[in-house]
């Protein structure tokens, strides 16, 4: 027995004798066979019963095989169809395959025909089984991926909330201390925490939890920095020019911290405390690499604290650049200073 007893076959053919011979041959192979003498009858039976497979002849009164095949394909759960053609009707077989038939068999009244039909049925059922298994696995993978996406989004949401809480604690602590130096250190720390928090805020509010839209991220970052450093007496205008670019989370965090430190240095040291000043941030991408440029029109390299290579800010910039495997070059301009970060995406 080559087929399972529960496997149901609908055989549609107007040749009564061949139908009976086919049912006998398929029955010996273990299939439960239902016969139909026309396309209309076969379609009616297929609407009432979910057959595992349908075999349909081409030449029949009323609906021919192609018309019957088209009607079968409109069923809510269309069964796989094997098309039965004459010995010299390859064009019909091709048309049937294009219309959705899973296979075809050349019809005759010999034992070879029944053997070929049984083999075609076995292969078709195996193909259907493999396709169903593949779809089930793909559905499970999609479901698993959706769960992971949801979980990662929730994790980033919680991390962002935790970072906001840490920022609030730092702010409260800064209000309690009276030493100006300590206040400044705590304020710098709060800005660094905010740079990381912005990344996670964008991760849990975006469609992707694996990459950060750097244009949106840097826009929010420079807005916060501008609000922090700009005063009526010494306005600081921070301009951003950013090409569309997405970076992995860890790289986005590193870039955010570097931009925060460079912009902070420019706002604090490039201009006099009672003078206005502009800081420009640019992000560009080309050939698998990206560049971040932070420049000002201030006092220049000779007066800039970054030139000394000391301080926590400089150490943070160096550490973040190392994680990116990036280079940072400081280019003096007239006037001002230009810092250029170059790294691979």
> Which of 162-186 are b and which e, b meaning 16 or more Cβ less than 10 Å from the residue's Cβ?
ebeebbeebeeebeeeeeeeeeeeb
Q: pLDDT by residue (tens digit) across 257-310? A: 999 999 998 998 899 888 999 999 999 999 899 999 999 999 876 654 444 444
Residue-averaged pLDDT of the chain: 87
Whole-angstrom distance, CA of residue 105 vs CA of residue 226:
76
Q: Partners of 12 in the beta sheet?
A: 36, 56
Does some domain include residue 322? yes
pLDDT, tens digit, 9 for 90 and up, residues 188-207 = 888 888 878 887 777 766 66
Domain endpoint, select from 62, 77, 109: 109
Strands 289-296 vs 8-12: parallel, antiparallel or unpaired: unpaired
Domain boundary (47, 81, 109) is at: 109
Predicted confidence at residue 285, as pLDDT, reads 94
CATH number at residue 79: 3.40.50.2300
Q: Domain boundary residue among 109, 133, 152?
A: 109
Q: Does residue 180 lie in a domain region? A: no
Of 22-31, 57-66, 198-207, which gets the smallest average pLDDT?
198-207
Domain check: are 221 and 93 in the same one? no
Write the pLDDT tens digit of every residue in 252-267. Answer: 989 999 999 999 989 9
Range of the domain at 28: 8-109
Q: How far apart are CA 250 and CA 252, in angstroms?
A: 5
Cα distance between residue 75 and residue 47, in whole Å? 7
Residue 139 lies in a domain: no
Instruction: Give the Cα separation of 63 and 69 in Å (integer).
Output: 9
Checking if the pLDDT of 4 tops 60, the result is no
Q: Is residue 200 part of a domain?
A: no
Q: Tell me: the pLDDT tens digits for 152-197?
A: 778 878 887 888 888 888 888 888 888 888 888 888 888 888 878 8
Q: Is residue 85 assigned to a domain?
A: yes
98 and 219: one domain? no
pTM, 2 dp: 0.56
What total of structural domains would you count in the chain? 2
H or E segment and range at residue 38:
none
Please check the confidence at residue 245 and state whether its pLDDT lies above 90.
Answer: yes
Indicate which CATH number applies to the domain containing 324: 3.30.565.10
Residue 216 in any domain: the answer is yes
Task: Say if residue 222 is in the same domain as residue 335.
Answer: yes
Query: Is residue 131 included in any domain, yes or no?
Result: no
231 within domain boundaries: yes
């Amino acid at each position: 027995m080559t087929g399972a007893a529960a496997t149901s076959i609908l055989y549609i053919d107007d040749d009564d004798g061949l139908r009976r011979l086919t049912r006998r041959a398929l029955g010996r192979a273990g299939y439960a066979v239902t016969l139909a003498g026309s396309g209309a009858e076969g379609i009616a039976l297929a609407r009432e019963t979910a057959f595992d497979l349908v075999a349909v002849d081409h030449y029949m009164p009323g609906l021919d095989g192609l018309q019957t095949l088209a009607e079968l394909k409109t069923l809510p759960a269309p069964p796989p169809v094997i098309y039965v053609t004459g010995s010299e009707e390859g064009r019909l077989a091709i048309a049937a395959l294009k219309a959705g038939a899973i296979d075809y068999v050349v019809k005759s009244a010999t034992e070879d025909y029944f053997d070929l039909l049984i083999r075609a049925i076995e292969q078709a059922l195996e193909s259907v089984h493999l396709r169903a298994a593949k779809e089930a696995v793909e559905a499970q993978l999609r479901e698993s991926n959706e769960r992971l996406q949801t979980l990662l989004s929730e994790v980033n949401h919680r991390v962002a909330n935790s970072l906001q809480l840490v920022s609030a604690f730092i702010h409260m602590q800064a209000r309690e201390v009276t030493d100006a130096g300590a206040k400044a250190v705590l304020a710098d720390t709060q800005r660094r925490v905010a740079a990381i928090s912005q990344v996670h805020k964008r991760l849990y509010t975006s469609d992707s939890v694996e990459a950060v839209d750097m244009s949106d991220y840097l826009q929010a970052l420079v807005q916060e920095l501008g609000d922090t450093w700009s005063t009526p007496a010494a306005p600081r205008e921070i301009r951003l020019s950013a090409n569309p670019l997405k970076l992995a989370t860890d790289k986005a965090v590193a870039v955010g911290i570097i931009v925060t430190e460079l912009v902070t240095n420019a706002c604090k040291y490039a201009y006099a405390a009672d003078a206005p000043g502009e800081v420009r941030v640019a992000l560009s991408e080309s050939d698998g690499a990206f560049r971040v440029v932070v420049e000002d029109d201030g006092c220049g390299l000779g007066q800039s604290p970054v030139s000394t290579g000391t301080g926590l800010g400089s150490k943070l910039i160096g550490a973040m650049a190392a994680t990116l495997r990036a280079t940072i070059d400081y280019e003096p301009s007239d006037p001002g200073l230009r810092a250029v970060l170059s790294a691979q995406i």
